[in-house]
C-alpha cells in the first residue's frame, strides 16, 4: 500500500497521481504501464514517486483497492437482506451492480476487468491477498445455509457452485458490460436473467416454464 508520505500530500496532488495512473493502466494495461510516463505527466520527480509507492505493482494495487471500494458501494444493496433473498437474487444483484458500476466508471471497471483476466496467478495472489478466497468462502457458507433451509437442493456441491458464481461474475463483466455501456442496459439485464435461469433450472428437457 502507499507510504504515509503519499497520504500526506495535498488532495489535489494525490488525485492527479491517481487519475494519471488510471489513464496509464486503462490505456496500456499493467504489463506495459510505465512509471516514467506517469511521473512525466504528473510533473513529480521519479525519486519522489518512490517516496509514495514501492514500485509499479504497489501503485497498481492502490488503484485496484480504490476501485474495489467504489464497486463495493454499488454492490451494497445486493447484500442487505441475505437471509430473505435466495442465492440467485443476490448473484443477480451483484451482476446488476457490476454493470451499473461499469456505466458510471468505465475506465475503472475496465482496469478491474483486465486484472480479472491476468494470466499470472502469482501476481494476482500477491495483489489481492486472500480476498478471492474469502469471497469464495462467503458464498460457500451462503449456499450451505440455503441448502439447510431447503432453498437449494441438498446434493448441490457448494464449492463447485461458488466457483461457478466467481466464473460467471468475470464472464458477465467481459461479455455484457460493453453492451450495457453502449446504452443497452435493459438487454444486458435480459441476458443475465436468461443466464441465471439456466443456472437455476439446468438444460434438461422438462415441462418447466420460464418465470
d(CA 127, CA 48) in angstroms, rounded, equals 23
pLDDT (tens, 9 = 90+) of the chain, 211 residues, equals 899 999 999 999 999 999 999 999 999 999 899 999 999 999 999 999 999 999 999 999 999 989 888 888 888 877 776 667 788 888 888 888 888 888 888 888 888 878 877 777 777 777 776 667 778 888 899 899 999 989 899 999 999 999 998 888 877 776 766 665 666 677 778 888 888 999 888 887 765 555 5
The 3-state secondary structure of 100-155 reads HHHHHCHHHHHHHHHHHCCCCHHHHHHHHCCHHHHHHHHHHHHHHHHHHCCCCCCC
Q: How far apart are the first and last CA of the chain?
A: 47
Whole-prediction pTM: 0.76
- CA-nearest of 93, 69, 72 to 82 is 93
- CA-nearest of 161, 205, 136 to 153 is 161
Alpha-carbon torsion 139, 141, 142, 147, what sign?
Answer: positive
Amino acid at each position: 500500500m502507499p507510504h504515509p508520505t503519499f497520504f500526506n500530500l495535498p488532495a489535489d496532488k494525490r488525485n492527479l497521481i491517481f487519475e494519471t495512473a488510471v489513464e496509464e493502466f486503462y490505456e496500456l494495461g499493467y504489463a506495459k504501464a510505465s512509471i516514467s510516463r506517469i511521473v512525466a505527466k504528473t510533473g513529480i520527480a521519479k525519486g519522489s514517486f518512490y517516496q509514495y509507492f514501492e514500485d509499479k505493482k504497489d501503485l497498481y494495487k492502490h488503484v485496484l483497492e480504490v476501485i474495489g471500494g467504489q464497486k463495493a458501494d454499488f454492490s451494497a444493496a445486493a447484500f442487505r437482506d441475505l437471509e430473505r433473498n435466495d442465492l440467485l437474487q443476490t448473484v443477480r444483484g451483484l451482476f446488476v451492480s457490476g454493470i451499473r458500476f461499469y456505466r458510471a466508471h468505465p475506465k475503472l471497471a475496465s482496469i478491474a476487468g483486465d486484472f480479472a483476466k491476468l494470466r499470472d496467478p502469482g501476481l494476482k495472489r500477491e495483489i489481492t491477498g486472500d480476498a478471492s478466497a474469502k469471497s469464495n468462502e462467503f458464498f460457500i457458507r451462503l449456499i450451505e445455509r440455503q441448502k439447510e433451509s431447503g432453498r437449494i437442493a441438498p446434493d448441490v456441491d457448494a464449492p463447485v457452485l461458488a466457483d461457478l458464481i466467481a466464473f460467471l461474475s468475470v464472464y458477465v463483466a467481459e461479455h455484457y458490460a460493453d453492451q450495457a455501456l453502449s446504452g443497452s442496459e435493459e438487454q444486458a439485464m435480459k441476458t443475465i436473467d436468461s443466464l441465471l435461469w439456466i443456472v437455476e433450472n439446468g438444460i434438461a428437457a422438462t415441462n418447466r416454464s420460464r418465470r
